[in-house]
């Protein structure tokens, strides 16, 4: 535990997911799930009322992940493997304390993962926000990772945190500020509660590194991996990083493309 102070789907899957209402409100999308949602209140986290327990989940696999193509803020959907991964992580989370809300990037690979999780956990409060999107990769969008790395090796280096990507792309510092600020907002809103956040590889890495600058997560966060944070009063505690226990029995860990901003 590390402390840091301020510084298409299978038939089974289709049967399990049912959406009944969807609307857009400003830049955020809110979804109300069907009448299968349980009425019991969510269980609070164990670290006191000043902390929010934030479970951060990377989205499931896409065909671009499988081909090592840089997605960034491009919008491919989950592939069959990714949907099955999402179902596995959803089943795992459904056996834990019910979250007060599920927040997600509005990109399809994340939003579909979030739908599956919210349904399995019986959560009606599902919010999509572009603040949780992956790093904008500028001119590198659509390139195979090795080619992009040959062209701009400094883009993927932790030593080049202020380097913006040509073509309107973000620096690592800009990505970190965006994602950390949004999680602080969520934590302030949900003090004493548990929430789930579905986002992307590089975004999750930056959250881990904000909590622990020595965290060895770069390029090691597999699709649907779980990171657990407790956030409150300016303090970030990283309790777990890159947990993929739910994938081990499914054979999903061979040749998995990790989350380093390239796979997004």
Q: How far is CA 24 from CA 31, 58, 93, 134, 185, in A?
A: 9, 24, 27, 21, 20
Is 134 a known active-site residue?
A: yes
Rounded to an integer, what distance in angstroms lies between the CA atom of residue 141 and that of residue 135? Answer: 10
* Residue for token pair 């701009």: 152
Q: What angle do CA 195, 201, 204 make, to 5 degrees?
A: 40
SS3 252: coil
Among 155, 143, 175, 183, residue whose Cα is nearest residue 263: 143
Tokens linked to 225: 């991996």
| Residue of 53, 61, 112, 134 with catalytic role | 134
Q: How far apart are CA 155 and CA 165, in angstroms?
A: 7
Residue 235 appears among annotated catalytic residues: no
**Per residue in 112-143, is it b (16+ CB within 10 Å) or e — as a string?**
bbbbbbbbbbbbbbbbbbebbbbbbbbebbeb
Show which residues are catalytic.
Answer: 59, 134
């Amino acid at each position: 535990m590390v402390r840091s102070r301020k510084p298409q789907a299978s038939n089974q899957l289709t049967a399990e997911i049912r959406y009944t209402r969807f609307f857009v409100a400003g830049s955020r999308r809110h979804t109300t799930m069907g009448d299968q949602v349980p009425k019991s209140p969510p269980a609070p986290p164990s670290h006191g009322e000043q902390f929010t327990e934030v479970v951060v989940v990377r989205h499931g696999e896409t065909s671009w992940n499988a081909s090592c193509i840089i997605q960034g803020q491009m919008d491919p959907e989950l592939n069959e493997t990714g949907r099955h991964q999402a179902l596995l992580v959803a089943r795992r989370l459904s056996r834990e304390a019910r979250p007060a809300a599920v927040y997600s990037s509005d990109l399809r690979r994340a939003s579909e993962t979030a739908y599956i999780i919210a349904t399995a956990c019986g959560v009606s409060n599902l919010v999509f926000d572009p603040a949780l999107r992956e790093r904008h990769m500028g001119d590198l969008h659509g390139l195979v990772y090795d080619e992009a790395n040959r062209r701009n090796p400094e883009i993927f280096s932790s030593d080049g945190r202020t380097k913006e990507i040509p073509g309107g792309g973000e620096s690592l510092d800009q990505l970190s500020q965006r994602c950390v600020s949004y999680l602080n907002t969520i934590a302030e809103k949900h003090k004493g509660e548990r929430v789930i956040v579905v986002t992307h590889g590089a975004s999750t890495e930056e959250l881990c590194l904000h909590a622990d600058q020595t965290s060895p997560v770069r390029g090691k966060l597999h699709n649907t991996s779980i990171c657990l944070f407790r956030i409150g009063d300016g303090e970030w505690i990283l309790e777990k990083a890159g947990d993929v226990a739910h994938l081990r029995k499914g054979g999903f860990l061979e040749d998995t493309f990790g989350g380093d901003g390239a796979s997004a």
